[in-house]
Amino acid sequence: MDWTFIQRFTPMYAEAALLTLRMGLTGIALSMAVGLLCCLAQHYRLPALRQIARAYIELARNTPLLVQLFFLYFGLPKVGVRLSSETCAVIGLTFLGGAYMAEAFRSGLEAVDKTQREAGECLGLTGLQNLRYVIFPQALATAVPAVCANVIFLTKETSVFSAVALADLMYVAKDLIGMYYKTDEALLMLVAAYLVLLLPISVVFSWLERRLRYAGFGRAA
Long-range Cβ pairs for the range 11-17 (8 Å, 24+): 12/172, 12/176, 13/169, 13/172, 13/189, 13/190, 13/193, 14/193, 16/167, 16/168, 16/169, 16/171, 16/172, 16/193, 17/169, 17/193, 17/196, 17/197
Would you tell me how many other CB atoms lie within 10 Å of the CB of residue 210?
11
> What residues in the chain have per-residue pLDDT under 50?
219-221
| Separation between Cα atoms, residue 193 and residue 191, nearest integer Å | 5
pLDDT score, position 216: 56
Do 166 and 86 form a contact (C-beta atoms < 8 A)?
yes
Do 54 and 42 form a contact (C-beta atoms < 8 A)?
yes
Q: Give this prediction's pTM.
A: 0.84
* DSSP class per residue in the chain: --HHHHHHHHHHHHHHHHHHHHHHHHHHHHHHHHHHHHHHHHHTT-HHHHHHHHHHHHHHHTS-HHHHHHIIIIIGGGGT----HHHHHHHHHHHHHHHHHHHHHHHHHHHS-HHHHHHHHHTT--HHHHIIIIIHHHHHHHHHHHHHHHHHHHHHHGGGGGGGT---HHHHHHHHHHHH--HHHHHHHHHHHHHHHHHHHHHHHHHHHHHHHHTTTTS--
Residues near 24 by Cβ (< 8 Å), separated by ≥ 6? 93, 154, 155, 158, 197
Q: What are the tens digits of pLDDT across the range 65-76?
A: 999 999 999 999
pLDDT score, position 215: 61
| Separation between Cα atoms, residue 221 and residue 141, nearest integer Å | 10
pLDDT score, position 213: 67
Residues near 13 by Cβ (< 8 Å), separated by ≥ 6? 169, 172, 189, 190, 193
pLDDT score, position 220: 43
| Separation between Cα atoms, residue 53 and residue 59, nearest integer Å | 10
Kindly list the structural domains of the chain, giving each domain's residue range(s) and its CATH number in brackets, ordered by start. Answer: 3-214 (1.10.3720.10)
